[in-house]
Amino acid sequence: MIEAIAVAAFGAAAVRVGTPLGLAAIGELVAEKSGVINLGIEGAMLGGALAAAVGASAGGPAGGIVAAVLTGTGIAAIFAAIAIGRRADQIITGTAITLGATGATGLVAQHVWGVGGAGLSVPTLAPLNIPGLADIPFIGPAFFRQSALTYACYLLIPMVSAALYHTRSGLRLRASGESPDAARAAGVNVAVVRAAATIFGGACAGLGGASLVLAQVGTFTERMTAGRGFIAIAVVALGRWHPWGAAAAALLFGAATELQYASQAAGSAIPYQLFIAFPYLLALLAFAVSRRGERGPAGLGQPH
């Protein structure tokens, strides 16, 4: 009985920790499917986290979510202007965006809250129990007693999947990522498609930052995303560039993070750091054994 409760609690924590990764990854997946690799989502996520904290303080959790999405969108738009508008190197541009966002959020955070930081003054999102589903043994507590943003992630996954594989826009987006020249010959405005996909990715990353603040940590601190945006890129790769794959990979990262705590608490002989490193090593292995066609869209990272 106690074990069952512990397992359910573990599942719930894994889902909670995996949510920001899942949200950011689903956005990055859309960007990458269009041929854009955006290392700036780490910055967009951080910006989103700060905006969520500020917005929630002013307008409650809903205000926080709106502010986070707008900020993520804005940061991705800057990336798009440089990397797509001016065809600059995507990797370097993304690195610069993340650096800039880290600096800017640090400055703004101190301006707003002073040296002490945000404290625990940020209103957070309470878990919502989904009637019926929440009572399923194990599954219920793990998946259906979560915050609204986790449910948003649940909705985004099938929606993005459907949009990518079952709509005209999705087809154009995938074509832009697979072969920008062929897409252009078919009448697709590749730059516009890529910019739109990148900005959607930024909005999702902002949402991921919001879930980190509003549903997990409850406050903002400098550099609080700690590389989660980069992890989201690994999640996309580990999930083989498919929405459901990315969702599973995000959950795996969440579970690995939680296992680390569980292992520490249980005094296990296995070094807990192994759990942290495990998903990265798995992603690396996935790259090593993949064939050329399975390493993401063929036109990924190519300026057009």
Partner 1 sequence: MPLTLRGISKRFGNTVALDDVTMLAAPGEVHALLGENGAGKSTLMRIAYGLMRPDAGTIDVDGVTSGRGFRSPRVALAAGIGMVHQHFTSIPALTVAENIALTAGWSVTSRAATLRAAALIDALHLPLPVTAAAATLSVQLLQRLEIVKALAAHARILLLDEPTASLAPRETTELLAFLRRFADGGNVAVLITHKLDDVLRTADRVTVLRRGRVTLSTGLEGQTATSLAHAMMGAAVPVAVHKRAPPGALVVRTQGLVLESAEAEGPGVRRAGPVSFALHAGEVVGVAAIEGNGQRELLRGVAGVTGVRAITGTLERRGDAGFIPENRTTEGIIPTFTLTENLLLGRWRRTSRWLRWGVLQRCTEALMAAHDVRPQGAAALASSLSGGNQQKLIFARVVDGRPAIIVAEDPTRGLDLVATAAIHARLRESARDGAAVLVHSSDLDEVLELADRLFIVCRGTVRELPPPFTREAAGDAMLGIGG
Partner 2 sequence: MTAIGLEPSARRARQVLHLPVAALLGVATLAVFLWITGVDVPLALGALWRGAFGSWYVFTSATLVRATPLIVLGLAFAIGARGGALNIGMEGQFAAGAMGAAAVATWIPVDSAPLAVALLLLASLLAGALWIAVPAILRARFAVSEVITTLLLNFVASALVSYAITGPLQERSRQYPQSATLDAMWRLPHLGRVTRLHLGFVIALLLAAVVGVVLARTRWGFQLRAVGASPRAAAISGRMDVGRIAAAALLLSGALAGLGGGIEVSGVSYALYQNLSPGYGFTAIAVALLARMRPELVVVTGILFGALDAGAGAMQRDAGVPSVAALVVEAVVIVTMLLTARKSP
> Which residue lies nearer to partner 1 by CB, 135 or 181?
181
- Residue 176 burial by Cβ neighbours in a 10 Å radius (0-12, 13-18, 19+): buried
Measured in whole angstroms, the distance separating CA 188 from the mean position of its chain's CA atoms is 27
Per-position b or e across 10-35, b if 16+ CB within 10 A of its CB:
bbbbbbbbbbbbbbbbbbbbbbbbbb
Do residues 209 and 47 make contact, with C-beta atoms less than 8 angstroms apart?
Answer: yes
What part of residues 240-279 is at the interface with partner 2 (CB under 8 A)? 271, 273-274, 276-277
Asked whether position 288 contacts partner 2 by CB under 8 A, the answer is: yes
Q: Does 231 bind partner 2 (CB under 8 A)?
A: yes
User: Nearest distance from residue 23's CB to partner 2, in Å?
Assistant: 19
Structure tokens at 245: 């794959």
Judged by beta carbon, residue 100 or residue 127, the one nearer partner 2 is 100
Residue 95 binding partner 2, by CB under 8 A: yes
> Helix or strand or coil: residue 234?
helix
CB of 232 to partner 1, least distance (A): 23
161, 82, 77, 67: which is closest to 123 by C-alpha? 67
Task: State the minimum distance, in angstroms, from the CB of residue 174 to partner 1.
Answer: 7
User: Shortest Cβ distance from residue 294 to partner 1 (Å)?
Assistant: 10
Least distance between partner 1 and beta carbon 112 (Å): 45
Distance in angstroms (rounded) separating the CA atoms of residues 290 and 101 = 33
Nearest to 19 by CA among 196, 163, 142: 142
Q: Tell me which of 58, 60, 103, 136 binds partner 2, using CB under 8 A.
A: 103
- Residue indicated by tokens 């259906």: 144
- Do 185 and 179 touch, CB atoms closer than 8 A? no
Residue 256's closest CA among 235, 241, 277? 277
User: How far apart are CB 185 and partner 1 at their closest, in Å?
Assistant: 4
Q: Shortest approach of partner 2 to residue 47 CB, angstroms? A: 13
Which entry of partner 1, partner 2, none binds 189, CB below 5 to 8 A by partner kind?
Answer: partner 1
41, two tokens: 């989502």
Residue 141 C-beta: closest distance to partner 2, Å: 29
Closest CA to 123 of 51, 55, 50: 55
| From partner 1, partner 2, none, interface partner of 273 (C-beta below 5 to 8 A by class) | partner 2
The residues that bridge with 129 in the sheet, in sequence order, are 145
Binding positions for partner 1, rule: CB under 8 A = 165-168, 171-172, 174-175, 178-179, 181-189, 293, 297-298
Q: Determine contact, residues 147/211, Cβ cutoff 8 Å.
A: yes
Residues of span 20-79 touching partner 2 by CB under 8 A: 37, 39
Using DSSP's 3-state secondary structure scheme, residue 146 falls into strand
Q: Which does 116 bind (CB under 5 to 8 A by kind): partner 2, partner 1, none?
A: none
135 counts as binding partner 2 under rule CB under 8 A: no
Nearer to partner 1, 76 or 190 (CB): 190
Which spans of this chain sit near partner 2 (rule: CB under 8 A)? 37, 39, 82, 86, 88-89, 91-93, 95-111, 115, 222-223, 227, 230-231, 233-234, 237, 271, 273-274, 276-277, 280-281, 283-284, 287-288, 290, 292, 295, 301
